[in-house]
Amino acid sequence: MKTMKNKLYLLGIILSMLVLNGCQNKSVHTDVPDEVVSKEVTVTRAQFETGKMMVGAPQDHLFTEEVSAKGYVLAAPDGLAKVGVFVPGTVKNIRFKTGEWVRKGDVLFELTGSAIIQLQQDYAQNHARLLMAGQELERMQGLLDGNIVSQRDFQNAKVEFSVLKANDEALTAQLKLIHVKAEKVAEGALLTSVPVLAPMSSYISQQELTAGQYLEPQDTPIELVDTRKLQLNLYVFERDIMQLQPGQKVLFYEPGRKDSAYEATLSVVGKSINQETKTILCTASITNVETMSFVHGMYAECAVLTCERKALALPTEAVIKDGYNHYVLVKISEDENALTFVRKAVEIGRETLDYTEILTNDLDQVLISGTFNLITED
């Protein structure tokens, strides 16, 4: 039992050291012989120039740890709107098309129908009764003060007035929803059609309207998107979620176009797992979204940068791999006709598609471009 406890204690120490190392250096070291003997490789000046070869030294490069995810550019909740109608009716005078910009309050189309007229009629009739009930209540108040009517008669008049007043307020609110002024209706000015207005300044992303089309209140034929409020929705796998935290940089790009990546900042890390996809929804704020030409619903490949570290590196094409060992070609001499190189063993760390970390010190005059062709010929 004591032996088992000692093993578990030792395992805990090892795991703690691995966690503490974290982002400091996740390099993979290779064994390097003290001295590498290799025949010299000579390149003519013409070969060097034609092959566009270059000589240089390791330079600082920013290596990153990243979490890959799928994502979509979508409007934030306050940047997306569905436009419908509050009463049934027939469409007429469509003012805008899909893709056009509208300002808040612009008339998108007009709606006509008997329901609109009926609502105004109901208001006008109820309002007239309310005025009469108000006068009756004042009269009953005077009679009650003179003990001419009973308290019960007065209460009946008061209840009638309260009911009509509640109806008046409800009908006024309904008229406001369809942009009809109640005071105009009270004066007898009834409208046969009403405008449907844009609730915000935005682009029309969808429009499914035709003149003469009949709409019900549950229909939403127009969708508006404010592209100034687009955000990046990322779908991260459960195994990666512990590496994420708000404030981390996110690179996202169209499939196959990683060289044209856009930037965002992780703003929210989700707290629940989608049981179907086994992913967690996270959101990121897109940098300079106002100046970009993104569209709502755009698919994107994403990379969340969880760690960044600078280190000396060479282009990956400059590093020759031979089994478990790695080499570079170092220039040892040159004249006006030729350049001579020799293979030198190096110790490497992080590797990416474009750059390889170099742990060997004091490297200079390394062939950093054209190495592949030279080794092939050799």
Given a cut of 80, whether residue 369 has pLDDT beyond it is yes
Q: Span 63-76, mean pLDDT?
A: 93
Given a cut of 60, whether residue 118 has pLDDT beyond it is yes
pLDDT digits (tens, 9 = 90+) for 304-318: 999 888 899 999 999
In angstroms, the CA 176 to CA 173 distance is 5
Q: Span 108-112, mean pLDDT?
A: 97
- For the segment(s) 25-63+310-377, the CATH number from 3.40.50.300, 2.40.110.10, 2.40.420.20, 3.10.20.30 is 2.40.420.20
Please choose, from the candidates 208, 195, 207, the residue with its C-alpha nearest in 3D space to the C-alpha of residue 89.
195
Q: Span 15-42, mean pLDDT?
A: 52
Cβ–Cβ under 8 Å, residues 81 and 108: no
**In this prediction, what percent of the chain has a pLDDT beyond 90?**
69
Residue spans of alpha helices (H) in 22-86: 45-50
Cβ–Cβ under 8 Å, residues 225 and 198: no
Beta bridge partners of 321: 326
Residue 376 one-letter amino acid: T
Does 85-111+192-219 carry CATH code 1.10.10.10? no
pLDDT digits (tens, 9 = 90+) for 128-166: 999 999 998 888 888 877 888 788 888 989 999 999 999
pLDDT digits (tens, 9 = 90+) for 196-239: 999 999 999 999 999 999 999 999 999 999 999 999 999 999 99
Report CA Rg, the chain: 38
Q: What is the reported pTM?
A: 0.68
pLDDT digits (tens, 9 = 90+) for 259-285: 889 999 999 999 999 999 999 999 999
Cβ–Cβ under 8 Å, residues 109 and 215: no
Q: Domain extents for the chain?
A: 25-63+310-377, 66-78+227-308, 85-111+192-219, 114-191
In angstroms, the CA 347 to CA 182 distance is 83
What phi and psi values does residue 177 have, to the nearest 5 degrees?
-60, -30
Q: Span 16-25, mean pLDDT?
A: 46
Q: Which two tokens stand for residue 346?
A: 């190096």
CATH T-level fold of 66-78+227-308: Elongation Factor Tu (Ef-tu); domain 3 (2.40.30)
Q: Which two tokens stand for residue 148?
A: 């001419």
**In this prediction, what percent of the chain has a pLDDT beyond 70?**
88
